């Protein structure tokens, strides 16, 4: 098997990797927030889808991308609120609740898409967010286009990583958040309310995941189609697991998955003996492999999934 | 001795009387599920109104579309069968607090194996092709769930994540297989050749599409009910689910029980995949199993993890989906409302479980 | 000089239990005050009242001259009280400095890690705490974790520190360094309340103290003017109840032999330390001891729920050291666990299922591949009648029964199989006097019929009433096993209080050799 890429092709591959990774990254950052505070983030898929839907519909109706983005964030946050209420107030099982809400959002978005516009699903077409070209830097061979010729939301996703990492590691808020996911009793002993912290973390996670959905509908496709997230939320979850609940590592995992996706898309011309389906399986198999190696992880938030009990 | 409240009479405590007591208890628990479903319909009605349609009319059409004719009923029953099969397996797992959400993948792999077996042993006499194909489907599903179980036992990988990841791998396997060895040459769409007639599931209501999948589902639910309530294995599952320290105290091996129940659930889900392939599509089609697995979880929850109650829960799902298609066809209410109803019902049931921490017989 | 803390006439009732009754406690500044008492004497409740976790029914608390009515720990901390709990409120995966900074506004919104780390080093050096800011809690031994809690309290400006049973899990050198820390705090004018049942330590480090029994203060003392023996007597002094009916008969042959049983936890601490004893047919070996000295570990290891690190267990000549729970059951070893809520009983299961819980894989409960529910029912009816379990029927769930009746289920199951050896861990815990009497009568009846019983209880009364031989479990060691007739209450009190730790442990070797 011989695969030779000239620098233009490699550059294109890298650009594609970064681009594909951006919705995953937003969702993954949302997952990091959610799980660090102790709630399983199986619901990211639903949050993303709701964000994609809300963003597309509002952007279409108002003609403004900014409103669309706000709506996407709000949509994701609403899903997060629902998850928080169920897992917090009603103490439901996190995983199964996430699944149920995913199904609910899937149906609701499809239904509203038709219902709000009467009859058949409208063809929402919007001007997608075009790439912003950074002068000079984008001329650098190979990595230039990848790093400096990307649309707005892609930049936003990657730029969000350092602040989030700092927040979690260097601020009192981040410390409380992580402690709520490790030992809620310790948080309670300081006089704070771990259940409230968890709820806010889930809602914030919804905001990020919703923006991830907006990337799909506003930046990539320019429309909303049924179930368009298509499992990306779960890939983002896998990225969070591989990234050991840290923003920077999650970003690397998302890039890895972006790469596998990009390779899969471009495989036709390469005559690799590996089916493109196997390439698509990579994210999940890698996630499983990583989990096998780490087994019972000492990095996993210790109170993840456990309901907060009062004294 | 001290404190006897009332003397025991032999005749008012025969074991078979328990069946009625247990049924009554199950009925009481199911009332939460019924409430949840009604509430879900209520909220969905609100959404119907939001889209400008009359909910009463919509539901009437839905009911007619679900029950109105033999064709409608057979369509609904065919839809229910795989839900019930996969759902009862999930219910058994959940009884032991093992969260197995791998139905999607297990059904997919089961479908692959059933198709393969059907394509290769169509020449066998009598009912063998059907039996062997379904068995192959069950084996495939069991293999898939077994992987997740072993990962948990050997490497401590959380079974939720493992089954979740394997779901996607399983779904992709279907595509991979259909684009390769089992694909029909010349078809514009990833699908397998039609399986031989001898492997078709027999029709049980002449003149309709109703196949025996529903009977298989009912039978296996009864078997699982016996398993859960009448065998040492089932007793052990209930112990593990109730209290792990008590299970250890009683000498139950968690690893062994976990592996067995996961294999069983995988086999049931795999046979659901086989039923879908051999009873409805008569071939393997890419994406045939999408959504089944998660719905199996919903069915298990709605049935409050009782193998017998899973039947009405699965029937509910099947009939609602059948009715929703009619609703969409006749008055234009999108059939995606079904997912809304199912999702809401699940959420409400979960909340009711969370609230009701009282007397729940294990 | 006004005292730093004055608690006056504090009373608190929980349901039917009077946890504290008119308790007075005065803590002067710069003194270490002991709060002595056994399990259930009211020590924990008193401190929970002080720290704001519960509110007193009556009485006042005056701290540093001001009345304190803390509604929550936050207010108590703000007032200057620091509590070092028995179960630490630490995040294992984080470092010392992160744990100190958690929830502390002084650490800043943007965590001033370097500054905090420096302050930790300073405080650590000043008080001899030997802590490095970057260490992860997970990697620290128990004693160091405790010191993290102490440094948290000190840095938040606590003038009064409450140490709740701080030495239960410490090794001797760790205890010594803790005491040094306490003295340094004292030198600075801070005060310490030292809650303990360990006389030796109280005598060594405290200045004065009070003794609580059944929620009341039975004595106040100055350490300089009281002896260990006097304190021990004050803690355990009670009238021996009339012994229950027991056949006086010579004990039979040895049926359970335990040799050099040791168990360590992951950090290498000894939970069981070279335990040797043997049980003979028709005798009860009753072990006293304060919770947390190895009781649970001992019975769980004997029952097969834990694996010992070394040693052997022999039942009627059969080596069961590595046998499974089921095998030990089959060999005739019955076990009543202390935890009724989730181990010995499954509240959500029916009474007949609970009665069958340990035996359902064998005949007659199992017939072939299926369970024989008629046999379940038969056995259940037999047990219900035989033990007088007050219930509406065998098919109702066990959580509808009272504690006493639930324990009857456990007794029926374990005693009903006519075991050769019974391990009973706190079998009367949480039961009213009537139920308690029933349990004790049943166990005596079992002993009279020729079985051997290992009976562990934190209630000294029971131990004294029921045992043919009596010993004490202290820090994982079995000490002072003597026949009933040679029991010396003071000696037992001292052993329970750990005073005997400095001497070589007296194991039950004579019996083993006979």
CATH of the domain at A286: 1.10.3470
Residues of B in contact with C361 (CB under 8 A): 232, 251
Question: B98 touching A, CB under 8 A?
Answer: no
Q: Note down the domain range covering B264.
A: 82-318
- The answer to whether C370 contacts B226, with C-beta atoms less than 8 Å apart, is yes
Same domain, yes or no: C114 and C166: no
Same domain, yes or no: C325 and C351: no
Q: What DSSP state is assigned to residue B183?
A: P
Of C350, C381, C388, the CB nearest to B4: C388
Residues of A in contact with B334 (CB under 8 A): 110-111, 114-115
CB atoms within 10 A of CB A40: 25
Query: Chain C, 389-448: which have a CB under 8 Å from a chain B CB?
Result: 390-395, 397, 399-400, 405, 434, 438
Same domain, yes or no: C378 and C300: no
- The answer to whether A100 contacts B52, with C-beta atoms less than 8 Å apart, is no
All partners of chain C with 3 or more CB pairs under 8 angstroms? A, B
- Residue range A24-79, pLDDT digits in tens: 999 999 999 999 999 999 999 999 999 999 999 998 888 888 899 999 999 999 99
% of chain B beyond a pLDDT of 70: 90
| Among C417, C447, C476, residue at a domain's last position | C417
Q: What is the pLDDT of residue B6?
A: 35
- Residue range C27-65, pLDDT digits in tens: 999 999 999 877 677 888 888 888 887 888 888 899 988
Q: What is the pLDDT of residue C498?
A: 66
Which residue carries 């294999």 as its tokens? B263
Q: What is the pLDDT of residue A43?
A: 95
- The answer to whether B344 contacts A104, with C-beta atoms less than 8 Å apart, is yes
Tokens at residue B266, please?
């995988």
Min Cα separation A71/chain B (Å): 19
Q: Which range, of A235-244, B88-97, C324-333, C491-500, averages the lowest pLDDT?
A: C491-500
What average pLDDT does the segment C284-304 reach? 87
Min Cα separation C165/chain A (Å): 19
* Range from A18-22, A197-201, B121-125, C510-514 that averages highest in pLDDT: A197-201
Residues of B in contact with C397 (CB under 8 A): 359, 361
- Inside any domain, residue B210: yes
- Inside any domain, residue B286: yes
Cα distance between residue C492 and residue B37, in whole Å: 64
Cα distance between residue B245 and residue C92, in whole Å: 24
Disruptive mutation site among A96, A97, A229, A274 for chain B (greatest number of B CBs within 10 Å): A96
- Inside any domain, residue C86: no
- Inside any domain, residue B185: yes
pLDDT at B13 over 80: no
What's the alpha-carbon Rg for chain A, to the nearest Å?
20
- Inside any domain, residue A47: yes
- Inside any domain, residue B162: yes
CB pairs under 8 A between B and C: 101
Instruction: Identify residues of C whose CB sits under 8 angstroms from chain A CBs.
Output: 53, 72-74, 77, 89-94, 98-99, 101-105, 107-111, 113, 138
pLDDT at C339 over 60: yes
Min Cα separation B151/chain A (Å): 7
Q: How many domains does chain B have?
A: 1
Residues of C in contact with B226 (CB under 8 A): 370
Predicted confidence band of residue B27 (pLDDT cuts 50, 70, 90): low
pLDDT at C322 over 50: yes
What average pLDDT does the segment C114-124 reach? 92
Q: Mapping DSSP to helix (H, G, I), strand (E, B) and coil, where does residue A195 land? A: helix
Q: Which residue of A has its CA nearest to C71?
A: A191
Question: B230 touching C, CB under 8 A?
Answer: yes
Q: Mapping DSSP to helix (H, G, I), strand (E, B) and coil, where does residue C335 land? A: strand
Of A42, A101, A241, the CB nearest to B343: A101
Of C342, C392, C405, the CB nearest to B246: C342
Whether C33 and C193 have beta carbons less than 8 Å apart is answered as: yes
Q: What is the pLDDT of residue A4?
A: 64
Q: How many domains does chain C have?
A: 4
> Which element (helix H / strand E) includes C473?
strand C469-474
- Inside any domain, residue A125: yes
Q: What is the pLDDT of residue B185?
A: 78
Q: What is the pLDDT of residue B11?
A: 35
CA-CA-CA-CA dihedral for B217, B219, B222, B223, to nearest 10: -100
Q: How many residues would you count in chain A?
A: 311
Residues of B in contact with A79 (CB under 8 A): none
- The answer to whether B161 contacts A292, with C-beta atoms less than 8 Å apart, is no
Q: Which range, of A30-39, A209-218, B23-32, C364-373, averages the lowest pLDDT?
A: B23-32
Tokens at residue B24, please?
């009554």
Q: What is the pLDDT of residue A230?
A: 87
Q: Bigger pLDDT: A28 or A264?
A: A28
% of chain C beyond a pLDDT of 70: 93
Q: What is the pLDDT of residue C403?
A: 82
Question: Residue C513's Cα: distance from chain center in Å?
Answer: 31
- The answer to whether B294 contacts A99, with C-beta atoms less than 8 Å apart, is yes
Q: What is the pLDDT of residue C514?
A: 34
What average pLDDT does the segment B238-243 reach? 92
Same domain, yes or no: C358 and C279: no
Q: Which residue of C has its CA nearest to B223?
A: C370
- Inside any domain, residue B326: no
Tokens at residue A229, please?
């997230």
Q: Which residue of C has its CA nearest to B20?
A: C395
Mean pLDDT of chain B: 87
- Residue range B37-56, pLDDT digits in tens: 999 999 999 988 887 888 89
Disruptive mutation site among B147, B161, B183, B304 for chain A (greatest number of A CBs within 10 Å): B161
pTM of the model: 0.83
Predicted confidence band of residue C499 (pLDDT cuts 50, 70, 90): low
Question: Is the torsion defined by CA of B350, B355, B358, B359 positive or negative?
Answer: negative
Beta strand pairing call for C216-222 and C208-213: antiparallel
Checking B313-317 for CB contacts under 8 A at 24+ apart, the result is B313/B33, B313/B84, B313/B87, B314/B80, B314/B81, B314/B83, B314/B84, B314/B87, B314/B217, B315/B76, B315/B77, B315/B80, B315/B84, B316/B37, B317/B79, B317/B80, B317/B83, B317/B342
- Inside any domain, residue C11: yes
Tokens at residue A219, please?
């930046």
Residues of A in contact with B47 (CB under 8 A): 108, 111-112, 115
Q: What is the pLDDT of residue B360?
A: 59
Same domain, yes or no: C67 and C96: no
Q: How many domains does chain A have?
A: 1
- Inside any domain, residue B31: no
- Inside any domain, residue C127: yes
Cα distance between residue B339 and residue C498, in whole Å: 66
CA-CA-CA-CA dihedral for C116, C119, C125, C130, to nearest 10: -10
- Residue range B314-325, pLDDT digits in tens: 999 999 999 998
What's the alpha-carbon Rg for chain B, to the nearest Å?
22
What's the alpha-carbon Rg for chain C, to the nearest Å?
25
Same domain, yes or no: C300 and C265: yes
Of B179, B334, B351, the CB nearest to A114: B334
Q: Bigger pLDDT: C407 or C249?
A: C407
Burial class of C185 by CB neighbour count within 10 A (0 to 12, 13 to 18, 19+): buried
Q: What is the pLDDT of residue A261?
A: 82
Cα distance between residue B183 and residue B189, in whole Å: 9
Beta strand pairing call for C160-164 and C81-84: parallel
What average pLDDT does the segment B192-218 reach? 90
Q: Give phi and psi for C43, each to the nearest 5.
A: -65, -50
Buried b (16+ CB within 10 A) or exposed e, B198-216: bbbbeeeeeebebbbbbeb
> Which element (helix H / strand E) includes C295?
helix C295-303
Q: Note down the domain range covering A185.
A: 7-294
| Among C100, C128, C156, residue at a domain's last position | C156
Please give the sequence-ordered ranges of beta strands (E in DSSP) within C281-371, or none if there are none: 284-288, 310-315, 318-319, 333-336, 366-367, 370-371
Residues of B in contact with A114 (CB under 8 A): 51, 334, 336
Cα distance between residue C350 and residue B361, in whole Å: 7
Tokens at residue C128, please?
């001899």
Of C337, C353, C393, the CB nearest to B249: C337
Whether C337 and B247 have beta carbons less than 8 Å apart is answered as: no
Mean pLDDT of chain C: 85
ipTM score over 0.85, yes or no:
yes
Disruptive mutation site among B289, B333, B343, B358 for chain A (greatest number of A CBs within 10 Å): B343
Predicted confidence band of residue A119 (pLDDT cuts 50, 70, 90): low
Q: Note down the domain range covering C168.
A: 5-80+159-236
Q: Residue C184: how many CA atoms within 13 Å on its side-chain side?
A: 16
* Range from A66-80, A287-301, C83-97 that averages highest in pLDDT: A66-80
- Residue range C198-245, pLDDT digits in tens: 777 888 899 999 988 888 888 899 988 988 778 777 776 654 444 556
pLDDT at C84 over 80: yes
Question: B169 touching A, CB under 8 A?
Answer: yes
Helix orientation angle between A94-117 and B15-50, rounded to the nearest 10 degrees: 40
Of C324, C349, C366, the CB nearest to B251: C324
- Inside any domain, residue A308: no
Q: Bigger pLDDT: C49 or B26?
A: C49
Same domain, yes or no: C423 and C503: yes
Q: How far is CA B243 from CA A308, B197, B240, B248, C47, in A?
A: 19, 49, 5, 9, 33
Disruptive mutation site among A95, A264, A283 for chain B (greatest number of B CBs within 10 Å): A95
- Inside any domain, residue A301: no
pLDDT at C512 over 60: no
pLDDT at B267 over 80: yes
What average pLDDT does the segment A109-129 reach? 72
- Inside any domain, residue C210: yes
Q: Which residue of C has its CA nearest to B4?
A: C390
Residues of A in contact with B339 (CB under 8 A): 103-104, 106-108, 110-111
Q: Bigger pLDDT: B297 or A131?
A: B297
Q: Which residue of C has its CA nearest to B22?
A: C395
Q: What is the pLDDT of residue A311?
A: 39
Which residue carries 């059948």 as its tokens? B322
Question: B340 touching A, CB under 8 A?
Answer: yes
- Inside any domain, residue A170: yes
| Among C118, C140, C156, residue at a domain's last position | C156
Of B231, B232, B251, the CB nearest to C325: B251
Q: Bigger pLDDT: C490 or A167?
A: A167
Burial class of C67 by CB neighbour count within 10 A (0 to 12, 13 to 18, 19+): exposed
Which residue carries 């079985």 as its tokens? C451
Cα distance between residue C491 and residue B325, in whole Å: 83
Q: Which range, of A75-79, A257-261, B107-111, averages the lowest pLDDT?
A: A257-261
* Range from A36-40, A116-120, B200-204, C56-60 that averages highest in pLDDT: A36-40
């Amino acid at each position: 098997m011989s695969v030779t890429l000239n620098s233009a092709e490699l550059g294109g591959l890298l650009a594609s990797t970064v681009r594909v990774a951006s919705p995953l990254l937003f969702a993954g950052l949302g997952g990091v927030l959610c799980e660090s505070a102790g709630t399983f983030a199986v619901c990211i898929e639903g949050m993303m889808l709701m964000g994609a839907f809300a963003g597309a519909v509002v952007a279409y109706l108002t003609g403004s991308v900014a409103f669309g983005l706000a709506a996407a964030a709000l949509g994701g946050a609403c899903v997060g609120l629902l998850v928080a209420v169920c897992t917090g107030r009603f103490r439901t099982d996190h995983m199964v609740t996430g699944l149920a809400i995913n199904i609910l959002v899937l149906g609701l978005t499809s239904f509203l898409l038709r219902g709000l516009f009467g009859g058949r699903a409208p063809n929402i077409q919007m001007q997608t967010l075009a790439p912003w070209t950074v002068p000079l830097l984008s001329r650098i061979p190979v990595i230039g286009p990848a790093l400096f010729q990307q649309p707005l939301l892609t930049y936003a996703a990657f730029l969000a990583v350092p602040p989030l990492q700092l927040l979690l590691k260097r601020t009192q808020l981040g410390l409380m958040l992580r402690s709520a996911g490790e030992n809620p009793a310790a948080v309670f002993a300081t006089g704070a309310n771990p259940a409230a912290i968890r709820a806010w973390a889930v809602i914030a996670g919804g905001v990020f995941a919703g923006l991830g959905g907006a990337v799909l509908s506003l930046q990539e496709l320019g429309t909303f189609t049924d179930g368009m997230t298509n499992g990306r939320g779960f890939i983002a979850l896998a990225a969070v697991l591989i990234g050991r609940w840290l923003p920077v590592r999650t970003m690397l995992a998302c890039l890895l998955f972006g790469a596998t996706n990009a390779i899969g898309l471009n495989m036709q011309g390469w005559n690799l003996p590996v089916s493109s389906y196997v390439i698509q399986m990579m994210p999940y198999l890698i996630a499983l492999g990583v989990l096998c190696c780490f087994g019972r992880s000492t990095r996993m938030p210790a109170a993840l999934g456990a309901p907060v009990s009062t004294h | 001795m001290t404190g006897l409240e009332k003397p025991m009479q032999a005749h008012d405590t025969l074991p078979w009387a328990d069946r009625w007591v247990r049924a009554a208890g199950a009925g009481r628990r199911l009332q939460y599920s019924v409430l949840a479903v009604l509430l879900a319909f209520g909220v969905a009605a609100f959404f119907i109104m939001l889209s400008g349609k009359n909910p009463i009319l919509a539901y009437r059409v839905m009911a007619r579309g679900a029950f109105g004719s033999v064709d409608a009923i057979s369509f609904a029953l065919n839809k229910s069968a795989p839900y019930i099969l996969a759902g009862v397996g999930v219910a058994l797992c959940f009884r032991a607090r093992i969260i197995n959400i791998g139905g999607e993948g297990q059904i997919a792999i089961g479908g692959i194996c059933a198709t393969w077996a059907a394509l290769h042993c169509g020449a066998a006499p009598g009912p063998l092709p059907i039996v062997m194909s379904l068995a192959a489907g069950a084996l495939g599903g069991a293999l898939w769930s077994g992987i997740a179980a072993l990962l948990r036992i050997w490497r401590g990988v959380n079974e939720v994540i493992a089954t979740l990841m394997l779901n996607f791998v399983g779904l992709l396997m279907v595509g991979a297989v259909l684009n390769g060895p089992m694909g029909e040459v010349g078809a514009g769409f990833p699908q397998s050749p039609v399986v031989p007639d001898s492997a078709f599931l027999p029709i049980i209501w002449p003149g309709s599409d109703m196949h025996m999948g529903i009977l298989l589902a009912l039978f296996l639910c009864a078997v699982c009910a016996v398993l859960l309530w009448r065998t040492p294995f089932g007793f052990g599952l209930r112990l593990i689910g109730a209290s792990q320290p008590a299970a250890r105290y009683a000498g139950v091996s968690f690893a062994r029980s976990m592996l067995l129940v996961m294999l069983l659930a995988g086999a049931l889900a795999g046979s659901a995949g086989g039923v879908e392939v051999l009873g409805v599509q008569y071939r393997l089609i890419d994406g045939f199993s999408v959504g089944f697995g998660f719905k199996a979880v919903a069915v298990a929850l709605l049935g409050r993890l009782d193998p017998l109650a899973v039947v009405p829960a699965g029937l509910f799902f099947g009939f609602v989906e059948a009715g929703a298609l009619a609703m969409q066809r006749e008055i234009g209410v999108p059939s995606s409302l079904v997912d809304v109803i199912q999702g809401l019902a699940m959420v409400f049931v979960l909340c009711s479980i969370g609230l009701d921490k009282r007397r729940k017989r294990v | 000089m006004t005292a730093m803390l004055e608690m006056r006439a504090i009373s608190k009732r929980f349901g039917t239990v009077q946890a504290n009754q008119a308790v007075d406690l005065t803590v002067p500044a710069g003194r270490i005050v002991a709060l002595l008492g056994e399990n259930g004497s009211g020590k924990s409740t008193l401190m929970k009242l002080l720290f704001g976790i519960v509110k007193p029914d009556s009485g006042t608390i005056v701290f540093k001259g001001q009345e304190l009515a803390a509604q929550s720990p936050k207010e108590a901390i703000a007032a200057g009280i620091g509590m070092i709990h028995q179960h630490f409120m630490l995040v294992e995966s984080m470092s010392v400095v992160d744990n100190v900074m958690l929830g502390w506004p002084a650490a800043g919104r943007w965590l001033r890690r370097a500054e905090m780390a420096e302050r930790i080093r300073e405080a650590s050096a000043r008080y001899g705490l030997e802590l490095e800011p970057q260490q992860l809690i997970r990697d620290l031994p128990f004693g160091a974790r405790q010191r993290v809690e102490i440094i948290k309290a000190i840095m938040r400006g606590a003038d009064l520190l409450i140490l709740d049973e701080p030495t239960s899990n410490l090794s001797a050198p760790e205890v010594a360094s803790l005491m040094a820390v306490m003295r340094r705090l004292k030198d600075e004018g801070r005060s310490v309340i030292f809650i303990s049942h360990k006389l030796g330590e109280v005598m060594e480090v405290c200045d004065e103290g009070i003794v609580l029994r059944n929620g009341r203060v039975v004595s106040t003392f100055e350490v300089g003017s009281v002896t260990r023996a006097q304190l021990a007597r004050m803690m355990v002094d009670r009238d021996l109840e009339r012994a229950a009916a027991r056949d006086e008969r010579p004990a039979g042959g040895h049926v359970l032999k335990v040799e050099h049983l040791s168990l360590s936890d992951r950090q290498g601490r000894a939970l069981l330390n070279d335990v040797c004893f043997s049980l003979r047919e028709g005798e009860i070996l009753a072990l006293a001891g304060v919770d947390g000295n190895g009781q649970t570990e001992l019975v769980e290891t004997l029952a097969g729920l834990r694996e010992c690190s070394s040693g052997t267990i022999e039942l009627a000549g059969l080596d069961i050291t590595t046998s499974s729970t089921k095998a030990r059951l089959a060999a005739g070893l019955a076990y009543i666990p202390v935890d009724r809520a989730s181990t010995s009983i499954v509240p959500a299961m029916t009474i007949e299922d609970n009665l069958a819980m340990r035996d359902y894989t064998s005949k007659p409960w199992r017939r072939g591949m299926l369970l024989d529910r008629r046999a379940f029912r038969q056995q259940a009816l037999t047990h219900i009648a035989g033990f007088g379990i007050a219930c509406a029927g065998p098919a109702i769930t066990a959580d509808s029964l009272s504690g006493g009746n639930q324990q009857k289920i456990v007794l029926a199951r374990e005693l009903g199989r006519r075991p050769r050896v019974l391990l009973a861990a706190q079998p009367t815990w949480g039961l009213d006097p009537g139920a308690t009497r029933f349990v004790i009568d049943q166990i005596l009846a079992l002993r009279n019929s020729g079985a051997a019983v290992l009976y562990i209880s934190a209630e000294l009364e029971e131990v004294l009433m029921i045992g043919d031989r009596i010993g004490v479990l202290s820090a994982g060691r079995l000490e002072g096993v003597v026949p009933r007739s040679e029991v010396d209450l003071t000696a037992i009190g001292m052993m329970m209080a750990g005073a005997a730790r400095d001497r070589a442990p007296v194991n039950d070797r004579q019996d083993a050799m006979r």
